[in-house]
Amino acid sequence: MLNINNFSKVYKGNKRAVDNISLEVKEGEIFGFIGHNGAGKTTTIKSIVGINEFDEGDILINGMSIKDNPIECKKIMAYIPDNPDLYESLTAIQYLNFVADVYGVSEAQREELIKKYGDAFEITNNLGSLISSYSHGMKQKLAIISALIHKPKLLVLDEPFVGLDPKASHTLKGIMKEICEEGASIFFSSHVLEVVEKLCGRIAIIKDGKIAAYGTVEEVKGTSSLEDVFMELIDNE
Tell me: do 116 and 101 sit in the same domain.
Answer: yes
- For the cut 80, the answer to whether the pLDDT of residue 111 exceeds it is yes
Q: Considering the entire predicted model, what is its pTM?
A: 0.92
Tell me: do 53 and 167 sit in the same domain.
Answer: yes
**Where does a domain end: 151, 178, 208?**
151
Tell me: do 197 and 92 sit in the same domain.
Answer: no
**Where in the sequence is the domain holding 96, given as residue range(s)?**
84-151
What is the average pLDDT score of the chain?
A: 93
Distance in angstroms (rounded) separating the CA atoms of residues 143 and 217: 28
Tell me: do 46 and 93 sit in the same domain.
Answer: no
Distance in angstroms (rounded) separating the CA atoms of residues 216 and 226: 11
Tell me: do 165 and 130 sit in the same domain.
Answer: no
pLDDT band at 237 (very low <50, low <70, confident <90, very high): low
Question: What is the bridge-based pairing of β-strands 210-216 and 202-207?
Answer: antiparallel
Residues 177-212 pLDDT 10s: 999 999 999 999 988 888 999 999 999 999 999 999
CATH number at residue 203: 3.40.50.300
Tell me: do 108 and 174 sit in the same domain.
Answer: no
